[in-house]
């Protein structure tokens, strides 16, 4: 039976659910139309095609991830913020593997919604790094390092690469703790006078 109230938001939301279930690369318009109970040509009333659909899923995913990280970071600073954001990032990525993969898609040039969505999570991480006194290139380096650590762990975990008989949660906790120590040491090493004191 065709679903009533079909609109672009509903189409994209359903496609995002499918991406989580089967992976973005296995998402097809034919399968989406069948899931929605409509004929495939009906989808073109709401989207321009498969690439447009993937782009819209990416925007949705980036905004969802930013919302999750923002809620985790609010009211916290330094180690508390790093730990909360890291765990929120991992939990969302593992719960929404297709959307997480879509969120890694670079912003489409000229797409204002995508460009805004792509910067939101980075701005939240920048606020977390601000608690360590980072700015300029130091802040960019810290953000990239934090993202790389989280993404690397999550990507390996999602692919089933952690097969050794030890707690993955424990390993993640240690990774986050290590990152926080690195950020703290980095911050202290950047303070005026530190270089002179350590010579």
Neighbours of 141 (CB within 10 A): 13
Instruction: Please list, in sequence order, all residues whose beta carbon lies within 8 angstroms of the beta carbon of residue 138, skipping any fewer than 6 positions away.
Output: 186, 190
pLDDT of residue 197: 43
pLDDT of residue 151: 95
pLDDT along the chain (199 residues), means of 10: 71 94 90 91 89 93 96 94 97 95 90 92 92 89 94 93 92 95 78 47
The tally of domains found in the chain comes to: 1
- Answer whether residue 1 is part of any domain: no
pLDDT of residue 97: 94
Boundaries of domain holding 51:
8-198
What is the model's pTM?
Answer: 0.88
What DSSP assignment string belongs to 72-128?
A: HHTT--HHHHHHHHHHHHHHHHHH-HHHHHHHTSPPPTT-HHHHHHHHHHHHHHHHH
- Answer whether residue 152 is part of any domain: yes
- The answer to whether 187 and 142 are in contact (CB under 8 A) is no
pLDDT of residue 187: 63
Residue 77 corresponds to which tokens in the numbers above?
Answer: 């600073």
Q: What is the pLDDT of residues 41-52, one digit of tens each?
A: 889 889 888 989
- The answer to whether 87 and 72 are in contact (CB under 8 A) is yes
- Answer whether residue 2 is part of any domain: no
- The answer to whether 172 and 181 are in contact (CB under 8 A) is no
Tell me, what CATH number does 151's domain have? 1.10.357.10
E strands, the chain, where? none
Q: What is the pLDDT of residues 150-183, one digit of tens each?
A: 999 999 999 889 989 999 999 999 999 999 999 9
- The answer to whether 134 and 142 are in contact (CB under 8 A) is yes
């Amino acid at each position: 039976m065709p679903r009533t109230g079909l609109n672009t938001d509903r189409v994209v939301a359903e496609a995002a659910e499918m991406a989580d279930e089967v992976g973005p690369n296995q998402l097809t318009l034919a399968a989406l139309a069948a899931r929605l109970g409509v004929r495939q040509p009906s989808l073109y009333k709401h989207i321009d095609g498969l690439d447009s659909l993937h782009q819209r899923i990416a925007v949705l995913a980036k905004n969802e991830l930013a919302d999750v990280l923002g809620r985790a970071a609010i009211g916290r600073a330094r180690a508390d913020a790093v730990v909360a954001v890291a765990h929120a990032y991992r939990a969302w990525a593992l719960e929404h593997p297709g959307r997480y993969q879509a969120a890694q898609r670079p912003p489409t040039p000229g797409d204002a919604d995508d460009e805004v969505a792509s910067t939101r999570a980075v701005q939240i991480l920048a606020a977390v790094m601000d608690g360590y006194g980072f700015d300029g290139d130091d802040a960019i380096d810290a953000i990239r390092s934090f993202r790389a650590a989280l993404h690397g762990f999550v990507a390996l975990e999602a692919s089933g690469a952690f097969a050794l008989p030890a707690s993955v949660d424990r390993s993640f906790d240690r990774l986050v703790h290590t990152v926080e120590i690195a950020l703290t040491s980095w911050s202290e090493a950047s303070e005026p006078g530190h270089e002179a004191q350590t010579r």
